[in-house]
Amino acid sequence: MNWVQWNDRLVKDEEIQLSKEDRGYQFGDGIYEVIRVYNGSMFTAKEHINRLYESAEKIKLVIPYTKDVFHKMMYDLIEANEVTTGQVYVQITRGSSPRQHQFPIEAVEPVLTAYTKEVDRPVSQMANGVAAKTIEDVRWLRCDIKSLNLLGNIMAKQEAHESGCFEAILHRGDTITEGSSSNMYGIKDGVLYTHPATNLILNGITRRVILACCEEIGLPVVEQPMSLSTVYANDEFFMSSTTSEIMPIVVIDGMPIGTGLPGEWTKKLQTAFEAKIEQAVHA
């Protein structure tokens, strides 16, 4: 089924009416989230909802629902669409008003749009690993906001895609930040390195689960930027996101990483992550 949450209503796709002067459409003036659904239930829903409200606050957008009401809206949408394994996409824009850069003078209602999709877990890619390409990170300096403005991200992803790669590894000069829509990790001599959660990256919910998994399996973590100049010397490399989970990167810029196969620590993390999914599904 194909219900869409449009503001406070569940409607059919064709009932949605979006304004030509919606600020999301004209300026990318809004924020979004992607939440995983496993076996009909949302994974780490609270964390995603908290992050959405944090992103909103950072752009001075007031979401007109309490977190509990919002959570129930997403839950009802998933139920209405009978999603099993998939995702919810939700975005909120600052609303519609005559085009001008500054915020609308008169308060306008934000516009919420949410829909669901069946998405399989990328099992074969997770087992075999993917290739990535290093690309200069030319985005703005508030990458901690999950903003609808994604030009820097999509230009990098397109370039990676045109090179036959699954993801872009973004770097500012010699500093590796993150992926176009994922976080990046290297493992060298039994230590995991990943960029700290500063303004230069989006602090992934998957990233937070992974750091907890590292603790469980006894893999030391150093939240410190990785250097581009030594990226090929990693023993293992992987990326993470809500839809890609823990995705081994076995080739960077055409160079094999480690053995050229998903590494042992990466596989242990995948197992630990899977246990968290199982726990959540049966909670």
Ligand X SMILES: *Cc1c(COP(=O)(O)O)cnc(C)c1O
Helix, strand or coil for residue 18?
Answer: coil
Write each residue from 227 to 266 as x if it is in contact with ligand X (CB under 6 A), else as -, in one continuous string. Answer: -------------xxx------------------------
5 lies in the site for ligand X, by CB under 6 A: no
Which lies closer to ligand X via its Cβ, residue 73 or residue 209? 209
Query: Whole-number minimum distance, CB 34 to ligand X, in Å?
Result: 6
Which lies closer to ligand X via its Cβ, residue 36 or residue 96? 36
Instruction: Say which of 60, 67, 146, 157 is annotated catalytic.
Output: 146
What are the DSSP calls for 35-90, one per residue? Answer: EEEETTEESSHHHHHHHHHHHHHHTT---SS-HHHHHHHHHHHHHHTT-SSEEEEE
Q: Select from 70-78, 80-88, 199-207, 214-222 the region that touches ligand X (CB under 6 A).
A: 199-207
207 lies in the site for ligand X, by CB under 6 A: yes
Are the C-beta atoms of 263 and 235 separated by less than 8 Å?
yes
Which lies closer to ligand X via its Cβ, residue 18 or residue 154? 154
C-alpha neighbours within 13 Å on the C-beta side of residue 72: 6
Are the C-beta atoms of 52 and 112 separated by less than 8 Å?
no
Query: Whole-number minimum distance, CB 110 to ligand X, in Å?
Result: 20
- Which residue's structure tokens are 């008003």? 97
146: annotated active-site residue:
yes
Q: Which of 268, 194, 190 is nearest to 231 (CA)?
A: 194
Q: Which of 243, 235, 246, 234 is nearest to 274 (CA)?
A: 246
The single residue among 5, 206, 266, 270 that binds ligand X, judged by CB under 6 A, is: 206
Which lies closer to ligand X via its Cβ, residue 94 or residue 207? 207
Number of amino acids touching ligand X (CB under 6 A): 15
Are the C-beta atoms of 196 and 161 separated by less than 8 Å?
no
Residue numbers at the binding site for ligand X (CB under 6 A) = 34, 146, 153, 178, 181-183, 202, 204-207, 240-242
Catalytic residue numbers?
A: 146
